[in-house]
Amino acid sequence: MRRQKGIETPPLAEAACRLSVCVLASGSRGNATWVSDGQTAILIDAGLSGVEIQRRMMANGLDPKGLDAILVSHEHRDHIHGVGVLSRRFDLPVHISDATRQASEKSLGRLHGIQPFACGESFSIGAMAIHPFSISHDAEDPAGFTISGNGAKVGVATDLGVVTGMVRTHLAACDLLMLEANHDPQMLIDGPYPWPLKQRIHGRSGHLSNEDAAGLLTELLHDGLQHVVLAHLSEENNTPQKARQAIKPVLNGRCTRLHVASQAMGSGVLTLL
């Protein structure tokens, strides 16, 4: 096998690969997603410890030394816990909005480099085009992302309480969608959380339910959609089975592959052809 930055793949797979995605972890205890076009590799968020992110990358055949940058969606601990450590350890620039950086300075510590971005303004990391867009969540300047390269498009929208027209617009025509399916509404109501937390999760600045994810996917479905990854499932208020049951009728026998990213195992490497 021939080494490419970030991943080892057979020569034929290299030629066919457009973008590859690996959700390393997704949930309230830590989030991190690896994306590569075969030449450049980035992390979207790094909410586990640096050591654990390295371990999970290597378990998926990914080289932490092949990373080129970290992209931060918002300042909550489950998205930034390992950002500073990885930035310093591997000399990685951190792409982060000014408001998010200011809200997380103490947690991040010294960074190898800071590349500010603004929601609505596209930028590039290597040959990949990154477009951050605003989402509704209880953070200073939360962002969803689309990543485009080699003729493929990946959309990432987790940690949002409501689906806006902006979210629908930016996630249109993706080859891979990573969508939040945080909770089953009845499990949330019947569950152990205190009422104010239940209201936060269910509110416009909280998290999408399984049914919300199904509704959004119904609007975004198209023949070129290869993968759907359900993400940020609550371990207390959801199950992978309930999330799948909500989404499967939307796919209705299509060739689109459905995955559920767990806190413990992530998704494995998904390659767009």
* Model pLDDT for residues 224-245, shown as the tens digit of each residue: 999 999 999 999 999 999 999 9
The model's confidence at residue 1, banded by pLDDT at 50, 70 and 90, is: very low
Q: What pLDDT is attached to residue 15?
A: 40
Count of domains forming the chain: 1
Domain extent at residue 52? 20-265
Q: What pLDDT is attached to residue 120?
A: 97
pLDDT > 70? residue 188: yes
Q: Label the pairing between strands 176-180 and 152-157.
A: parallel
270 lies in a domain? no
235 lies in a domain? yes
pLDDT > 60? residue 7: no
* CATH number of the domain that residue 166 is part of: 3.60.15.10
133 lies in a domain? yes
The model's confidence at residue 204, banded by pLDDT at 50, 70 and 90, is: confident
The model's confidence at residue 253, banded by pLDDT at 50, 70 and 90, is: confident
Phi, psi of 120 (to 5 degrees): 95, -10
77 lies in a domain? yes
Q: Look at 14 and 127; give whichever has higher pLDDT.
A: 127
pLDDT > 60? residue 98: yes
Q: What pLDDT is attached to residue 268?
A: 92
Residue labelled with tokens 């290299």: 14
pLDDT > 50? residue 14: no
159 lies in a domain? yes
Residue 235 and residue 264 in contact, taking contact as beta carbons nearer than 8 Å: no
Question: How many Å apart are CA 111 and CA 65, to the nearest integer?
Answer: 17
7 lies in a domain? no
The mean pLDDT of 12-41, rounded to a whole number, is: 86
Mean pLDDT score of the chain: 93
pLDDT > 60? residue 6: no
pLDDT > 70? residue 257: yes
Question: How many Å apart are CA 166 and CA 179, to the nearest integer?
Answer: 15
The model's confidence at residue 4, banded by pLDDT at 50, 70 and 90, is: very low
Residue 225 and residue 250 in contact, taking contact as beta carbons nearer than 8 Å: no
47 lies in a domain? yes
Q: What pLDDT is attached to residue 16?
A: 52
271 lies in a domain? no
Q: Look at 195 and 253; give whichever has higher pLDDT.
A: 195
Q: What pLDDT is attached to residue 203?
A: 87
Q: What pLDDT is attached to residue 273?
A: 87
| Strand blocks (E) in the chain | 2-4, 7-9, 19-25, 32-36, 41-46, 69-71, 93-96, 113-116, 123-125, 128-134, 143-149, 152-157, 176-180, 227-231, 257-260, 268-272
